[in-house]
Amino acid sequence: MAKITMTVNGRQVSGTCDDRTLLVHFIRENLGLTGTHVGCDTTQCGACVVHMDGQSVKSCSILAAQAAGSAITTIEGLASNGELHPVQAAFKTYHGLQCGFCTPGMVMTAVDMIRRHGGNLDEATVRAELEGNICRCTGYHNIVQAILAAAAETGGARQAAE
């Protein structure tokens, strides 16, 4: 058993888990944060995306012990003082979800995408960056529009022609 300590959504947390426990399972089972979803356990769907030390990672591909000492942000940690993060708000406004299963991973990927690309974010870039995230319900149009709108609101995107 491993005893690990990390910062999750701004709070220092500790727990014990089997050495082979994946970060996604530690977050869900040990911490009770169920917004991070398990979709495939093979890094293909992106439902498990969280931020580790500021970068998006698929938490089904990282052992919890590897994240010891790291700062982790989950979907539950994005909102601030009861206000949705701009990406969360854009997903709501632009109907960038249907069943909602992929939404936490999409939102976390989008936040990191906007952070990395800033003013160079456009529709083609968004679509290319979303290749690691699968949505089985939508055609991605509203998801892309939501990300572009959030990027524009935060000063990081050129609007694509509609």
pLDDT in tens, 4-60: 999 999 999 999 999 999 999 999 999 999 999 999 878 899 999 999 999 999 999
Task: Give the C-alpha separation, 7 to 136, whole Å.
Answer: 32
pLDDT at 162: 36
Q: Which of 77, 105, 129 is the last residue of a domain?
A: 77
Q: Domain limits at 109? A: 86-160
What is the model's pLDDT at position 155?
A: 76
Q: What is the mean pLDDT of residues 85-112?
A: 96
Rg, Å, the chain Cα set? 16
Of 53, 77, 101, which residue is a domain's last? 77
Question: Same domain for 9 and 62?
Answer: yes
pLDDT at 112: 96
What is the count of structural domains for the chain? Answer: 2
| 42, 62: one domain | yes
Identify whether residues 57 and 108 lie together within a single domain: no
Residue 93 and residue 73 share a domain: no
pLDDT-based confidence at 157, cuts 50/70/90?
A: low
Beta bridge partners of 52: 55, 72
Coil, strand or helix: which one is 68?
coil
7: its two tokens:
């910062």
Q: pLDDT category, 160, cuts 50, 70, 90?
A: very low
Checking if the pLDDT of 103 tops 50, the result is: yes
Nearest to 138 by CA among 104, 110, 99: 99
DSSP state letter for 14: E
Residue (of 75, 7, 90) closest to 35 by Cα position = 75
Q: Determine the Cα–Cα distance for residues 6 and 77; give it in Å rounded to an integer.
A: 14
Share of the chain above pLDDT 70, in %: 95
For the chain, the average pLDDT equals: 93
Q: Which residue has the tokens 């022609």?
A: 161
